[in-house]
Amino acid sequence: MTAKILVVDDELPIERLICQQFRKKIRAKELEFVFAHNGLEALDKLKEDGQIDMVLTDINMPEMDGLTLLEKLKELELNVKAVVVTAYSDMENIRKAMNNDAFDFLMKPINFDDLELTINRTLETVRQIKQTQYQLQQVQTQLIQKEKMSALGQLVAGVAHEINNPVNFVAGNLTHARDYIEVMLHLLQLYQQHYPEPVTQIKAETESLDLQYLMEDLPQLISSMHVGIDRINQLIVALKTFSRADSSNKIPFNIHEGLDSTLLILRHRLKACSGHPAIAIIKEYENIPQVHCYPGPLNQVFMNLLANAIDAIDELTHQGQIIQQPTIKIRTEVVEKGWVEIRISDNGLGMTEEVKQQLFQPMFTTKPCGKGTGLGLSICQQIIYEKHQGSLTYCSELGKGTEFTIRLPVGG
Ligand SMILES: Nc1ncnc2c1ncn2[C@@H]1O[C@H](COP(=O)(O)OP(=O)(O)OP(=O)(O)O)[C@@H](O)[C@H]1O
Ligand SMILES: [Mg+2]
C-alpha cells in the first residue's frame, strides 16, 4: 500500500527536491507526497484526506506555524505522526515540538539520507499502530458478535421451544375438535331430517340462532384456525433454523432454508408501513447443493443484508422519492465447480462514494443513533471471510439500489 506524507513548508524548492530524491519510490507507488505551504492549509488537507500517514513540517511559516499545527493535530486525534524540521540548535522549539507529541525532528539543511531513514522509521511506527488498532477492532467486533449471537440465539431457541408445546396441544386438540364437530353436525342434520317439525321452543331457538348459518360457518372457522396454527408452526421451525447453535464443526446446510427462515422472521418489516409500501420479494433459487457451513452465523449474514436492504428502501421513501415497486431480489446459483453464489439486491437508496469507502468499517453507520450500530457489515465480512473462506462483494448506484454478493465454497 502507498504511504502518504504531507510536507508543510513555505519554501517552494522543497517540493522539487523531495520529488527528485524519492522519485523511485513515488514511481513504484510506495510513497506519495502532498504539499501545503502553512499550518492552516495542512489542516484542511488532513481533514479532507483521511489517508495521510505522516506530516513533515517546518516550524516558521506564515498564517499558522508548525508548533501550532502540532497542537491542532493533537486536538484532532488524527492517526498521523509528525516530524518537525528546524534550524540547527534550536533547542527551544525542538523541546516544544516534542512536548506536543512530535515523533521526531530533523535539522536544516535537510540531509536526505537522514530524511529517508526518519521517514521509514515513522511509517513503520504508523503501520504498527494501525495494525494494532485493526486487530483490536476485530477482537471487539468478534466479542460483540459472539455475545449478540449467543444471547439472541439462546433467547430465540428458548422462546421457540416454549411456544412449541402449547401450539402442539392446540393443534392436536383442534384435530379432535374438528372430528367431534363433524359428528355433531351430522347428528343435527339427522334430527332435522327425521323430525322436520320440532317442538315450538326448539323451533324458536333454531330461528333466533340462525342455525343454518352456524352449521355452514363452523367448519370454515375450524379450517382457518388450522391455517393459523400451521403458520405458527412454520414460524417456530424458522426460528429454530435461524438460531441453530453455532456448532464447532461445519455441517451441510440448505441455504434456501436459511434464507426462507430469515425472510419469515423479517416478514413484519416487508409489509406496507409508513416507511414504504409492501416490499416484493423475488426469489430466483437455482438447484444448488447443500453447503458445508456454520448455519447460525450464516443466517445472521442473511439477516443483516436483508435488514440493510429494507432500511435502504425505507430511507429512499423517507427522502420523498416514490419507488414504483420496492423490491428485494434473492438469487442463488452455482457459479463454478464447488462454489455457490447468493445475491441480495434492493432498489433502495444506493450509496455515495463516501459511504462505499467506509462501508465495512466497524461502527460506520449512516443511520440515526439507536437504530444502527454500524456493526452489521463488518460482522458479515468476518463470518464470510474468516469462518467460511468465502467472499462478500457489492455493487451500488446512488438512487438506484445495491446488490451484495456472497460466494461460498460448497465443501466448506
Ligand atoms: N443495501 C444497502 N443500501 C444502501 N446503503 C447500505 C446498504 N447496506 C449498508 N448500507 C450502508 O452501510 C452502512 C453500514 O451498514 P451496517 O450494516 O454495517 O451498519 P448499520 O446497518 O448502519 O447498523 P447495524 O447493521 O449495526 O444495525 C449503513 O449505515 C448504510 O449507510
Ligand atoms: Mg445493518
Mean predicted confidence (pLDDT) in 30-48: 92
Mean per-residue pLDDT for 206-223?
A: 88
pTM over 0.85: no
**Is residue 123 included in any domain, yes or no?**
no
One domain, residues 300 and 328? yes
Closest residue by CA, ligand 1 atom 19: 374
Give a yes or no: residue 124 inside a domain: no
CA distance 356 to 348: 15
148-162, 271-285, 342-356: lowest mean pLDDT where?
A: 148-162
- The secondary element (H helix, E strand) that includes residue 285 is strand 280-285
pLDDT tens digits, 130-140 = 888 888 888 88
> In terms of residue numbers, what domain contains 357?
251-409
Q: What CATH number has the domain bearing residue 309?
A: 3.30.565.10
Question: Both 213 and 276 in a single domain?
Answer: no
Q: Residues 396, 402: contact at Cβ < 8 Å?
A: yes
Indicate if 237 and 290 belong to the same structural domain.
no
200 and 288 together in one domain: no
Burial 276-303 (b: 16+ CB within 10 A, else e): beebebeeeeeebeebbbbbbbbbbbbb
Please give the number of the atom of ligand 1 that sits closest to the Cα of 378.
18
**Inside any domain, residue 128:** no
Clarify whether residues 199 and 157 are in a common domain. Answer: yes
Same domain membership, residue 261 and residue 359: yes
Instruction: Write the CATH number for 81.
Output: 3.40.50.2300
Q: Residue 155: what pLDDT?
A: 76
Q: Decide which of 225, 242, 259 is a domain's last residue.
A: 242
Mutate to test the pocket of ligand 1, among 308, 360, 392, 393 (most ligand atoms within 8 A of CB): 308
Does 384 lie in the same domain as 266? yes
* Overall average pLDDT of the 380-390 stretch: 92
pLDDT value of residue 177: 92
Residue 393 is predicted with a pLDDT of 97
Phi, psi of 7 (to 5 degrees): -105, 125
- Which atom of ligand 1 lies nearest, measured to the CA of 371? 27
Q: What is the pLDDT of residue 126?
A: 92
Beta bridge partners of 346: 328, 402
Residue nearest to atom 8 of ligand 1 (CA): 308
Residues 92, 165: one domain? no
Examine the fold and report which residue of 57, 87, 110 is the final residue of a domain before the chain moves on.
110
pLDDT above 90 as % of the chain: 50
Residues 405 and 261 in one domain: yes
In a domain, 125, yes or no: no
Residues 6 or more apart in contact with residue 209 via CB below 8 angstroms: none
349 CA closest ligand 1 atom index: 4
Residues 188 and 255 in one domain: no
Indicate if 15 and 93 belong to the same structural domain. yes
Distance of CA 50 to the CA centre of its chain: 22
Task: Tell me the pLDDT band of 88, cut-offs 50, 70 and 90.
Answer: low
14: confidence class by pLDDT, cuts 50, 70, 90: confident
Residues near ligand 1 with C-beta < 6 Å? 304, 308-309, 312, 346, 348-351, 355, 359, 364-367, 372-377, 402
pLDDT of residue 245: 57
Please state, rounded to an integer, the average pLDDT across all residues of the chain: 89
Residue 201 within a domain: yes
The two beta strands, 3-8 and 54-58, are: parallel
Backbone angle region of 374, left / alpha / beta, with phi > 0 → left and psi within -120 to 50 → alpha = left
* Higher local confidence (pLDDT), 332 or 75: 332
pLDDT of residue 338: 93
Is residue 137 in a domain?
A: no
| Residue at a domain's end among 242, 265, 287 | 242
Residue 61 has which C-alpha cell? 511559516
193 pLDDT band, cuts 50/70/90, is: very high
Residue 198 lies in a domain: yes
Query: Region 24-52: what's the mean pLDDT?
Result: 92
Give the model's confidence band at 201: pLDDT under 50 very low, under 70 low, under 90 confident, else very high: very high
Cα 89 to averaged position of ligand 2 atoms, centre (Å): 55
Amino acid, res. 279: I
- What is the predicted pLDDT for the residue at 403? 98
| Segment 290-335, tens digit of pLDDT | 999 998 889 889 999 999 999 999 998 888 787 789 999 999 999 9
Listed residue (388, 399, 401, 264) closest to 343, CA to CA:
401
What total number of domains does the chain contain?
3
Place of cell 462505499: 356
Give buried/exposed letters for 255-267 (b at 16+ CB in 10 A, else e).
bbbbbbbbbbbbe
- Return d(Cα 354, Cα 396) in angstroms, integer: 12
CA of 1 to the centre of ligand 1 (A): 27
Q: Which atom of ligand 1 is nearest to the CA of 346?
A: 1
Position 221 in a domain: yes
Integer Rg of the chain from CA: 33
Query: Atom 14 in ligand 1: which residue has the minimum CA distance?
Result: 365
Mark residue 363 as left, alpha or beta (left: phi above 0; alpha: psi -120 to 50; beta: remaining). Answer: left
Among 47-51, 103-107, 153-157, 242-246, whose mean pLDDT is lowest?
242-246
Cα gap 26→300, rounded to integer Å: 43
Verify that 402 and 290 share a domain, yes or no: yes
